[in-house]
């Protein structure tokens, strides 16, 4: 058994790396990666919400031209916030800023953490992505968006969505 918190973190990262996701193709809602951690409350993944709520949201100005942006673990949305402990808040503010392609509200629910990757901004040189199920109001099929709380990047609207105004 590891004797220190840093030893435990290395063991957890090694396990996650071994069992993380390797898929590069855009996942279908029924084809999601293996989650290694999940938090739920009253049967729903946390965080969860709707983009037509009164909660704060980011102002997104540009739409991605790369169809993989946010839709694949290889090209996640880099919301940042890990070092300041604001990662989950930044995730919610980002997701609250998205609408369906025709301006419909979305519902989002965190499926869990997956997809280990290397980053100098994470714990012990690595991190996990958060996978969110996104359902557009009035549509039956959902999609999955991957968010990275460790690194920061341009925050764009993924293909298939529109910005909240």
Q: What is the DSSP string of 112-132?
A: EEEEEEEEEEEETTEEEEEEE
Could you read off the pLDDT of 21-35 as tens digits, one per residue?
Answer: 333 334 444 567 889
Its sign, for the CA torsion 48, 51, 54, 57, is positive
Q: What is the DSSP letter of 162?
A: E
Cβ(10)–Cβ(16) below 8 Å: no
pLDDT at 31: 64
pLDDT at 13 exceeding the cut of 70: no
139 or 3: which leads in pLDDT = 139
Q: What is the DSSP letter of 12?
A: H
**Proportion of the chain above pLDDT 90, given as a percent:** 72
Q: Which positions ≥6 away from 27 have C-beta within 8 Å?
A: 33, 71, 72, 144
Residue 139 lies in domain = 5-163
Taking residues 152-159, report their average pLDDT: 97
Is this model's pTM higher than 0.85 or not?
no
Total number of domains constituting the chain: 1
Could you read off the pLDDT of 91-130 as tens digits, one per residue?
Answer: 999 999 999 999 999 999 999 999 999 999 999 999 999 9
């Amino acid at each position: 058994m590891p004797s220190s918190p840093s030893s435990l973190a290395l063991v957890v990262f090694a396990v996650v790396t071994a069992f993380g996701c390797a898929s590069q193709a855009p996942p279908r809602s029924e084809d999601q990666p293996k989650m290694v951690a999940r938090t739920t409350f009253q049967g729903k993944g946390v965080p969860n919400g709707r983009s037509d709520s009164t909660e704060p949201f980011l102002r997104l100005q540009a739409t991605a031209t790369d169809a993989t942006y946010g839709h694949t673990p290889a090209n996640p949305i880099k919301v940042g916030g890990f070092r300041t402990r604001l990662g989950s808040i930044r995730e919610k503010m980002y997701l609250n800023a998205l609408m369906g392609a025709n301006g419909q509200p979305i519902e989002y629910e965190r499926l869990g953490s997956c997809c280990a990757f290397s980053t100098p901004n994470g714990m012990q040189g690595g991190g996990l992505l958060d996978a969110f199920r996104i359902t557009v109001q009035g549509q039956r099929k959902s999609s999955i968006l991957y968010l990275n709380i460790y690194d920061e990047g341009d925050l764009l609207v993924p293909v298939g969505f529109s910005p909240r105004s």
